Amino acid sequence: MHYVLPAWVGLAITIVVCGGAFWKGGREEQAAAGGLLLSWVATLILRDPKWLGPQWGAFAADSCLLLLLTAIALRSQRFWPLFAAAFQLLCVVIHFARILDPGVRAWAYATGQVIFSQWVFFAVGVGVFTHWRRDRQMAATDAPTTVPGATRR
């Protein structure tokens, strides 16, 4: 027996993470959230509801999002974009698996996409939280740092 999450769970996660990114996030978080929203909408519009073969529209949207998250990760001094890009890479690899092996069932294909895309949202959510926390700490201490928000070099 398969347990299926209600559709509103994914919508709620999208609203909370992307809304938080636009409200309390920095430029990186906002760019990632914008890319997530565009990819999410493109996937909804372009998907094949029958799931008979590879989801070419979702593949294109996920590939574009991977490029955006990789660019953010390469320019950022923080860790969360690395994880977001890595999870998005797994989403794209799942598309390749379905393209190369038609024996991959639709259930496994869709489940893998949902799991790893939720981890992308989680990584962006961590980025929003750490940005918000850092801004609160800086406001409380009024101590400027040399590189605000840097967690890696």
Please report, for residues 16, 45, 46, the alpha-carbon distance to residue 38 in angstroms, rounded to integers and kept in the order given: 16, 11, 12
105: nearest Cα among 113, 57, 118, 116: 113
Query: Domain-by-domain residue ranges, the chain?
Result: 7-141
What angle do the packed helices 56-75 and 106-141 form, to 10 degrees? 30
In the block, which residue shows the tokens 């920095």? 26
Does 133 score more than 70 pLDDT?
yes
Q: Is pLDDT above 80 for 45?
A: yes
pTM recorded for the entire structure: 0.85
pLDDT (average), residues 43-52: 84
For residue 10, the one-letter residue type is G
Q: Does position 10 have pLDDT exceeding 90, yes or no?
A: no
Q: Say whether pLDDT at 146 is over 60.
A: no
What mean pLDDT comes out for the span 48-70?
A: 91
Residues 6 or more apart whose Cβ sits within 8 Å of residue 114: 5, 10
Distance of alpha carbon 120 from alpha carbon 114, whole angstroms: 10
Query: In the predicted model, is pLDDT for residue 145 greater than 60?
Result: no
SS3 for 3?
Answer: coil
Q: Is the pLDDT of residue 5 over 80?
A: no
Residue 144: per-residue pLDDT:
58
Beta carbons of 117 and 44 less than 8 angstroms apart: no
Q: How far apart are CA 26 and CA 149, in angstroms?
A: 10
Q: If you count them, how many residues does the chain have? A: 153
pLDDT at 151: 65
In this structure, what token pair is assigned to residue 94?
A: 């799942």
Mapping DSSP to helix (H, G, I), strand (E, B) and coil, where does residue 84 land? helix
